[in-house]
């Protein structure tokens, strides 16, 4: 079941993200950052356990980012990640946001949803603030992908 995250989910979200951050697949997020941003998170819950998470971060009036996507290893391959991204896209549409982007190593995954590769230079400089926290900055090897969702 997908639902908006609650305060009680913050530690489970953090644990999912820690494992992905350790492998260099997502930016690390502190527990306090998750608490501050909890309204932007969705979770996938099974039997009262959070097994997936994603965050929709609004960047500007016409742009949002899908970020912090993580699914427990034992549940991979079941479409949980895709459904989490799709709920973010639905929310972006409801908000009137025209374009959603992701910085990712999972190009094929996002391409199946309809995202296309773009040059990072097409994204506003404002989004790079979080990148400065990354150990790979400024030599980012993630791929920027974008999806236009409203005309």
Structure tokens at 110: 């996002």
121 in Cβ contact with 94 (< 8 Å):
no
Structure tokens at 38: 């909890």
Measure the CA–CA gap between 17 and 71, rounded to whole angstroms: 9
Q: What is the mean pLDDT of residues 13-24?
A: 91
Q: What is the mean pLDDT of residues 99-117?
A: 95
pLDDT higher than 60, residue 132: no
Torsion of Cα atoms, 84 then 82 then 13 then 144, to 10°: -100
- Which tens digit of pLDDT belongs to each residue from 37-63? 999 999 999 999 999 999 999 998 999
Give every strand in the sheet of 49-60, ordered side by side. 2-4, 41-46, 49-60, 63-71, 99-104, 143-148, 116-118
What residues make up the domain containing 95?
Answer: 2-148
80 in Cβ contact with 52 (< 8 Å):
yes
Position 36 scores a pLDDT of: 97
Strand partners, 147: 100
CATH number at residue 41: 3.40.630.30
Share of the chain above pLDDT 90, in %: 72
Among the listed residues 91, 92, 43, 47, the one whose alpha carbon sits nearest the alpha carbon of residue 71: 43
Number of domains in the chain: 1
């Amino acid at each position: 079941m997908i639902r908006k995250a609650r305060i009680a989910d913050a530690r489970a979200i953090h644990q999912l993200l820690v494992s992905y951050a350790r492998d260099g697949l997502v930016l690390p997020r502190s527990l306090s950052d998750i608490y501050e941003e909890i309204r932007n998170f969705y979770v996938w819950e099974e039997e009262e356990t959070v097994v997936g998470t994603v965050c929709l971060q609004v960047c500007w009036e016409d742009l949002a980012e899908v970020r912090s996507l993580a699914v427990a290893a034992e549940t991979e391959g079941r479409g949980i990640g895709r459904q989490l991204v799709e709920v973010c896209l639905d929310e972006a549409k409801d908000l009137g946001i025209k374009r959603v982007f992701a910085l990712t190593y999972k190009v094929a995954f996002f391409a199946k949803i309809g995202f296309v590769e773009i040059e990072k230079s097409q994204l506003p400089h404002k989004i790079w603030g979080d990148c400065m926290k990354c150990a790979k900055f400024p030599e980012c090897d993630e791929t920027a992908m974008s999806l236009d969702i409203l005309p």
